[in-house]
């Protein structure tokens, strides 16, 4: 398992526990870290004329001295530029003492053609914006188009938030240790890291497990065991039933996209719940998807009462206002405990269902905490997120990860905070960052499909956090594989090969 992400505090603790348990000591970890970086530099840049290793005053710089020593020992022309000597008696001071190259001041840093930079200025200990000679080095490396290999993180990127503090290197390659950090996946950090290589330095899985990390890189390792695969005795209602609410006669497409996606993701039956005046429009476009009138709360209650329903999608194309709020509250009040086989396994509120509560979000949050309320997944993009969680959105210090977590706790819902670095957060504190998306997914109706996949998985009994994570990854994977020309209509079918591969790889067992 290496899908956990570690904060800088957790990484420091992992180092500490490893050193305390022995036999590896601090300089031992540092030598392994530096060796891993040097190996990447040698194999990827065999014809570099000169390697410039920039070393900061902390342990990140210590890794740099190890890199410089190994490169010089391999016959590579190497210069060390330092922003200040390591603290006496530190591991970095030991590494510097082992390095045969006399460091030059970073303020004099310059480089000729065919050079590369190893950035070992600051890593997990970055505590303030880059300035002065470090900022000048960043500018010069960019101006000279020098390839940059970052040690742990590009200097200037916060490992916890992915934010740029002042300025930062834009690396071609980042070599990090033991586990990735949130800043490798959150934007803009992800873009500045280039390719991220994870190197083992002797920190055991048992040490990581003791830390009980709550943040993960989203991927099949996180949820594939819960992926629904039909049992031998499956019939359509055992495979879950999804109800998708349609908008009025001129806004029905979003619900149908969601419904198709729910069906493709394996729900045994899907019903579009349509206003009476949009029945004809919907009927003209549906085949395997069923259709039923739902004009008011009584219609919903009747439907819930007579069907083995499992999940609902409310929001796409539905319209903003009182009716939306009423439907949302009826759904939240009508659930039985998620574990009951005839109850509602989960609700997905997107788009207009989110925006409808902008004036009174607490009513929604309270309902989501009601006894027996079904599990709720909400899928806001940035604008919708700010409507429901204005104060959280306005906080300029918190990361997207912090914000999604805070919102999930407040709303008692799984929050899928969408974007190029979608964060999925659960009320219990778990969170995952998604990174397999592609810009092709930024197309009208794409979010409706995501809601449908999520509901399809919920209806088949997947737990809310896992279902949301799986839906986000499957949706992104389908879009990335499809590539140019993608429109939302393509997505429900495009998830099929992704699901096939997941099942073939043993998902669901
Ligand atoms: N034993 C360990 O703890 C290991 C640590 N490792 C390396 O150690 C790094 C973390 O080391 P540290 O905690 O020493 O932190 P860093 O080396 O990232 O930086 C800490 C030092 O830089 C100063 N500083 C931070 N931001 C600055 C800025 N913008 N301008 C000027 N000075 C600034 C701090 O005051 C402090 O002196 C990791 O990123 C990793 O590369 C690896 O060697 C593996 C083992
Ligand atoms: K660095």
Q: How many other CB atoms sit within 10 Å of the CB of residue 170? A: 19
Alpha-carbon distance 380 to 387, whole Å? 9
Atom 9 of ligand 1, residue of closest alpha carbon: 60
Token pair in block for residue 446: 């794409």
C-alpha 74 – ligand 2 centre gap (Å): 22
CA of 23 to the centre of ligand 2 (A): 27
SS3 274: strand
Q: Can you read off the two tokens belonging to residue 489?
A: 């209509």
Cβ of 58 less than 6 Å from ligand 1: yes
First CA to last CA across the chain, in angstroms? 17
Candidate from 126, 176, 199 with most ligand 1 atoms within 8 A of CB, to mutate: 126
Q: Cis bond leading into 414, ω under 30°? A: no
Q: Is the CB of 176 under 6 A from ligand 1?
A: no
Site to substitute for ligand 1 among 29, 96, 123, most atoms within 8 A of C-beta: 123
CA of 106 to the centre of ligand 2 (A): 14
Both structure tokens of 100? 């045969």
Closest CA to 314 of 393, 243, 237, 239: 243
**Ligand 1 site, residue 133, Cβ cutoff 6 A:** no
Given this chain, do its domains 4-213 and 236-504 carry the same CATH topology?
no
Q: So what's the pLDDT on residue 339?
A: 39
Q: Of the bound ligands, which one is closest to the alpha carbon of residue 126?
A: 1
Q: For 172-321, where are the alpha helices, taking DSSP H only?
A: 189-193, 205-211, 220-223, 253-264, 279-283, 297-306
The response to whether residue 130 sits with its C-beta less than 6 Å from ligand 1 reads yes
Residues in the chain: 509
Task: Tell how far the Cα of 72 is from the centroid of ligand 1, in angstroms.
Answer: 23
Per-position pLDDT tens, the chain of length 509: 589 999 999 999 999 999 999 999 999 999 999 999 999 999 999 999 999 999 999 999 999 999 999 999 999 999 999 999 999 999 999 999 999 999 999 999 999 989 999 999 999 999 999 999 999 999 999 999 999 999 999 999 999 999 999 999 999 999 999 999 999 999 999 999 999 999 999 999 999 999 999 999 999 999 999 998 766 666 666 788 999 999 999 999 999 999 999 999 999 999 999 999 999 999 999 999 999 999 999 999 888 877 676 899 999 999 999 999 999 999 999 765 443 444 678 999 999 999 999 999 999 999 999 988 999 999 999 999 999 999 999 999 999 999 999 999 999 999 999 999 999 999 999 999 999 998 999 999 999 999 999 999 999 999 999 999 999 999 999 999 999 999 999 999 999 999 999 999 987 75
- pTM, two decimals, is 0.96
Mutate to test the pocket of ligand 1, among 56, 107, 189 (most ligand atoms within 8 A of CB): 56
Cβ partners under 8 Å of residue 109, min gap 6: 52, 54, 81, 133, 136, 137, 140
Q: Pairing between strand 414-417 and 376-378?
A: parallel
pLDDT of residue 338: 41
Q: Is the CB of 151 under 6 A from ligand 1?
A: yes
Q: Where are the alpha helices (DSSP H) in 418-485?
A: 446-459, 464-482
Q: Is the CB of 61 under 6 A from ligand 1?
A: yes
Q: What is the CATH number of domain 236-504?
A: 3.40.1190.20
The long-range contacts involving 388-395, CB below 8 angstroms and separated by at least 24 positions, are 388/354, 388/357, 388/358, 388/361, 388/364, 389/361
Say if ligand 1 is within 6 A of residue 368 CB. Answer: no
Is there an atom of ligand 1 within 6 Å of 30 CB?
yes
Q: Which CATH class is domain 4-213?
A: alpha beta
Asked whether 128 lines ligand 1 (CB < 6 A), one says yes
Would you tell me how many other CB atoms lie within 10 Å of the CB of residue 418? 23
Give the number of other CB atoms < 10 A from CB of residue 50.
Answer: 16
The residue contributing the CA closest to ligand 1 atom 25 is 126
CB-based contacts of 371, cutoff 8 Å, min separation 6 = none
What is the Å distance from ligand 1's center to 359 Cα? 45
Question: Which ipTM value was assigned to this complex?
Answer: 0.97
State how far the Cα of 159 lies from the Cα of 210, in Å rounded to an integer. Answer: 21
Q: Is the distance from CB of 201 to CB of 33 less than 8 angstroms?
A: yes
Q: Show me where the domains of the chain are located.
A: 4-213, 236-504
What pLDDT sits at residue 309?
A: 63
* CA-nearest residue, atom 43 of ligand 1: 30
The protein residue with its alpha carbon nearest to ligand 1, atom 13, reads 125
Q: Which of 16, 83, 124 to mutate to test the pocket of ligand 1 (most atoms within 8 A of CB)?
A: 124
Distance 413 CA to ligand 1 centre (A): 37
3-state secondary structure of 162: coil
Residue 337 is predicted with a pLDDT of 45
Task: Please give the distance, rounded to the nearest whole angstrom, from the Cα atom of residue 62 to the centre of ligand 1.
Answer: 8
């Amino acid at each position: 398992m290496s899908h956990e992400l570690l904060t800088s505090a957790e990484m420091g603790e992992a180092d500490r526990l490893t050193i305390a348990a022995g036999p590896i000591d601090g300089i031992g970890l540092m030598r392994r870290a530096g060796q891993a970086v040097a190996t990447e530099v040698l194999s990827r840049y065999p014809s570099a004329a000169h390697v410039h290793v920039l070393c900061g005053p902390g342990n990140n710089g210590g890794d740099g001295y190890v890199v410089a020593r190994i490169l010089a020992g391999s016959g590579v022309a190497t210069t060390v530029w330092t922003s200040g000597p390591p603290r006496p008696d530190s591991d970095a001071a030991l590494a510097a003492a082992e390095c045969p190259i006399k460091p030059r001041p970073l303020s004099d840093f310059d480089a000729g053609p065919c050079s590369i930079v190893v950035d070992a200025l600051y890593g997990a200990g970055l505590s303030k914006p880059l300035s002065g000679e470090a900022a000048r080095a960043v500018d010069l490396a960019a101006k000279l188009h020098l390839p940059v290999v970052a040690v742990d993180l590009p200097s200037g990127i916060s490992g916890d938030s992915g934010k740029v503090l002042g300025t930062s290197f834009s690396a071609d390659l980042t070599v990090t240790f033991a586990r990735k950090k949130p800043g490798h996946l959150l934007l803009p950090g992800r873009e500045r890291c280039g390719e991220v290589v994870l190197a083992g330095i002797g920190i055991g899985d048992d040490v990581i497990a003791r830390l009980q990390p709550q943040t993960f890189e989203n991927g099949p390792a996180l949820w594939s065991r819960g992926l629904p695969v039909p049992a031998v005795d499956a019939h359509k209602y055992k495979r879950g039933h999804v109800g998708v609410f349609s908008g009025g006669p001129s806004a029905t497409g979003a619900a149908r996209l969601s419904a198709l996606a729910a069906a493709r993701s394996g729900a045994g039956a899907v019903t579009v719940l349509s206003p009476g005046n949009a029945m004809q429009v919907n009927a003209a476009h549906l085949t395997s998807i069923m259709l039923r009138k739902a004009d008011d709360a009584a219609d919903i209650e009747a439907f819930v009462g007579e069907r083995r329903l499992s999940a609902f999608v409310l929001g796409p194309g539905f319209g903003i206002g009182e009716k939306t709020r009423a439907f949302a509250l009826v759904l939240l009040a009508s659930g039985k405990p998620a574990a009951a086989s005839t109850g509602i396994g989960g609700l997905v509120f997107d788009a207009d269902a989110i925006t409808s509560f902008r004036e009174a979000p607490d009513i929604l949050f309270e309902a989501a905490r009601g006894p027996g309320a079904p599990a709720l997944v909400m899928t806001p993009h940035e604008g919708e997120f700010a409507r429901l969680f204005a104060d959280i959105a306005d906080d300029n210090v918190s990361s997207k990860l912090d914000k999604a977590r805070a919102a999930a706790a407040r709303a008692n819902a799984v929050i899928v905070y969408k974007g190029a670095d979608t964060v999925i957060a659960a009320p219990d504190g778990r969170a995952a960052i998604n990174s397999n998306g592609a810009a092709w997914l930024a197309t009208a109706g794409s979010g409706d499909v995501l809601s449908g996949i999520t509901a399809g998985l919920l209806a088949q009994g997947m737990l809310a956090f896992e279902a949301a994570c799986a839906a986000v990854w499957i949706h992104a994977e389908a879009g990335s594989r499809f590539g140019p020309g993608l429109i939302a209509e393509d997505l429900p079918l495009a998830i099929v090969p992704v699901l096939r591969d997941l099942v073939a790889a043993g998902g669901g067992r």
